[in-house]
Amino acid sequence: MASQDEDLRQRGLQTLQAGCQVAKAYGARVCLVVAGLQEPETEYVRSYATALDSLRAGAEYAADLGVIIGVENVPSNFSFNPILVYENEEPKMKSRCVVFPEPGKVEVWEEDVTPPGPGEVLCAAMKSLISIGTETYCLRGVFDPGTNWGEWVQFPFRAGYSMAAQVIAVGHGVTDLKEGDRVAGWIVHQGFFRAQPDQLYSVPDGVSDEEATWNCLAVTTQLGVRRAQHSLGENVGVVGLGMLGQLVVQYLVLSGARKIVAIDPVQSRLDMAQAHGATHTLALDVRQARSAIDEITAGKMLDVIYEITGHPAVLAPCIPLVRKLGRIVLLGDTPTPTQQCLGPGVVSDSIAILGIHGSMTPAQPSEFNPWTRRECVMLFFDYLLQGRMKVSDLITHRYSPMRAPEVYAGLVQDRSASVGNIFDWNLL
């Protein structure tokens, strides 16, 4: 039941269920099981986390039969608490992480992982999401002086920021989380990590690990839609239907937009946007979109347009697509803003340009703004559970983290065929 081979693990679960049925038939109160065998090619903590999942699934089945599962400790190099490994010797656990040691270069590093300290938890990564725009900008390392990019990206740079994981050990004083809990948060691409509970968000049953990896981008786009202060029935354009654009389309549907015009030269991305509520799609460069927008809106033009590409040349052609007193939301943060220009119409048409960044959430809720990062994540999870948002079909690629160098090389060369790219840490 600790095997990373899913077919073998399922056979173990079936055997456990059969044992529980035999126990019930003979009136036995306890079914004794060996939780797993430590496979030499698998890191111990990953085996431990997998076995916990298996035992929980088996326990639910056993409870329905009125049977208790007893875990037998045998010399299989498995059934011991990983925390005890550290008590009298140096750490043995190793973790891999994705690092950009210098611009244009990607490596997978190995590092020691220590046990959680007081107030901390130790987690095993399940899945992490590559932010294909942000992370390729980070990899290139080309930023204007004075930008937040230049302050944030210092080489060697640890890539990634959107993770779904499982708690495998808790430090002294931690009461909010326990071993086996599924969590998500702003965490770099790494196999094992320590964190404080307030950095993590509990993932509810019914939300998969892959869906949970979208938590950070869901907050950023949610902030963008809040920044626009939409009114019911507005006509809205979205330029750039990558990861953020796809989420914005779904939030616009929830916000009651009348017409949602998706603009992107890549047809497959437009098809995704249309499946999630875009009412119109334009497979063309934004510089060629004015006549089509005029026709779609019967000459009224857009109330709001979202510029999500982060490309400095895209802002100016967005301006003539909105009406007088319209709004442009800059959700794509270009690393070279000195190359951006406004073009005509901003002042004469009284157009508002609204910037927003994913960090703009209050540390504590207030009557004026209750939308902390945690509340935004929980709202996203609620929308997934209610079926009002969907991200599972936005995932286009899944990789082992060991393939990181080739994955990023492909994204830098051409990311048009990609939307959601997942590092599956169970493939290590």
Rounded to 5°, the CA angle 22-27-33 comes to: 50
Nearest to 354 by CA among 245, 228, 256: 228
Does 156 sit behind a cis peptide bond, omega within 30 degrees of 0 on the bond before it? yes
Task: Using CA atoms of 243, 221, 275, 294 in order, give the dihedral in degrees to the nearest 10.
Answer: -100
CA 304 to chain centre: 26
Contact 358, 223 (CB under 8 A): yes
Is 256 buried (19+), middle (13-18) or exposed (0-12) by CB count in 10 A? Answer: exposed
Say what the pTM is: 0.83
Q: Which CATH superfamily is domain 96-214+391-427 in?
A: Medium-chain alcohol dehydrogenases, catalytic domain (3.90.180.10)
pLDDT of residue 239: 98
The structure tokens 């992107």 sit at: 264
Alpha carbons 222 and 357: distance in angstroms, whole number: 11
Contacts of 33 (CB under 8 A, 6+ apart): 1, 16, 19, 55, 58, 69, 70, 71, 72
What does the pLDDT read at residue 158? 98
Number of Cβ within a 10 Å radius of residue 268: 15
d(CA 196, CA 124): 14
Q: Give the pLDDT confidence of 27-68 residue by residue, as tens digits.
A: 888 998 887 776 766 766 677 778 878 888 888 898 999 999
- Residue 413's pLDDT is 94
d(CA 46, CA 3): 9
Intervals of the chain under pLDDT 50:
80-91
Structure-token match 């119109």, residue found = 280
If you ran DSSP here, which 8-state letter would residue 2 be given?
-
Which are the contacts of 375, defined by CB distance < 8 A and separation ≥ 6? 365
pLDDT tens for each residue of 242-294: 999 999 999 999 999 999 999 999 999 999 999 999 999 999 999 999 999 99
* Domain ranges for the chain: 6-80, 96-214+391-427, 217-355
Q: Is CATH 1.10.10.10 the right assignment for the domain spanning 217-355? A: no
Q: Are strands 322-330 and 302-307 parallel, antiparallel or unpaired?
A: parallel
CA distance 71 to 74: 9
